[in-house]
Amino acid sequence: MRKTTMAAFAALALGAAACGGETKASKPATTSLPQDGQAFAIDPSDFTTEIDNPFWPMKPGSRWVFRETDAEGAVSRVVVTVLDKTKTIANGVEARIVHDQATEEGQVLEDTYDWYAQDADGNLWYLGEDTTEYENGKPKTKEGSWEAGVDGALPGIIMPANPQVGMTYREEYYKGHAEDGASILYTDALARVPGGRFEHGVQTRNTSAIEPDVVEEKIYAEGVGVVLEMTVSGGSDRTELLSYREG
């Protein structure tokens, strides 16, 4: 992604497909974004399902195809599609529905409906998911499903409106089930994946309180969304964008 001495370290972490070199802030950027399990005031009237965040726009019909390789070398295909449908979440926010399906050799591994909305400032929020894991072609578990406003679950940020190095925020919070957070490492990242070469991306470090030994890094490309995900500690999973079609 970017190129500086600090960026060189990030490039090693992400491998040859990504390198970076930005402007690492001398102090973390100030932010009023939600943190961990702390309460955060939400006004449903401040949200829209018309999502145009520069680093993950979600027009109905947009479609991303990814190749995901796990630590054992198994390869799966992940297709993410923005639907022309919405859902009113329990906390009162109307959210855009995004379908995410992972398959291996044509067999469904996981089928998920995610819910997103954008606030008046342009921050992209994640409001929950209805997910089903499959085994041998049959539903196995819905563990990981959650909805903001139900059983203490809280929404989080996927991408700030104005990402800055040092920003930290929660992505999702459902105690004991989904406790993911992110911090922004760089804002001038470069990623080379089968779907193309992307410059000036946002690179995040993603962690979970449920799996504290696992650290993932992601690169979001302007006008496209996430293009590369890599587990840099506690595993070696890698997800690369193969293609993107705007809705």
3-class DSSP assignment, residue 70: coil
Residues 162 and 116: their CA atoms lie apart, in Å, by: 18
> Which helix (DSSP H) or strand (DSSP E) does residue 13 occupy?
helix 5-14
pLDDT of residue 77: 98
Residues 135 and 140: their CA atoms lie apart, in Å, by: 6
- Which of 56, 167, 202, 214 lies closest to 122 in space, CA to CA? 56
What residues form DSSP beta bridges with 221? 225
Residues 227 and 65: their CA atoms lie apart, in Å, by: 10
Number of domains in the chain: 1
Show the CA angle centred on residue 54, arms to residues 48 and 55, nearest 5°: 105
3-class DSSP assignment, residue 9: helix
Residues 128 and 161: their CA atoms lie apart, in Å, by: 20
What's the pTM? Answer: 0.88
- What CA–CA distances, in Å, run from 74 to 99, 104, 139, 159? 22, 8, 20, 29
pLDDT of residue 32: 87
Question: Where in the sequence is the domain holding 229, given as residue range(s)?
Answer: 5-245
Residues 188 and 190: their CA atoms lie apart, in Å, by: 7
Residues 182 and 35: their CA atoms lie apart, in Å, by: 10
pLDDT of residue 127: 98
pLDDT in 10s for each residue of the chain, 247 residues: 333 333 333 433 344 345 444 444 434 444 589 999 999 999 999 999 999 999 999 999 999 999 999 989 999 999 999 999 999 999 999 999 999 999 999 999 999 999 999 999 999 999 999 999 999 999 999 999 999 999 999 999 999 999 999 999 999 999 999 999 999 999 999 999 999 999 999 999 999 999 999 999 999 999 999 999 999 999 999 999 999 999 9
Give the CATH number, domain containing residue 94: 2.40.360
For tokens 């496209």, what's the residue? Answer: 224
Cα 134 to the chain's mean position, in Å?
Answer: 22
Q: Length of the chain in residues, anyone?
A: 247
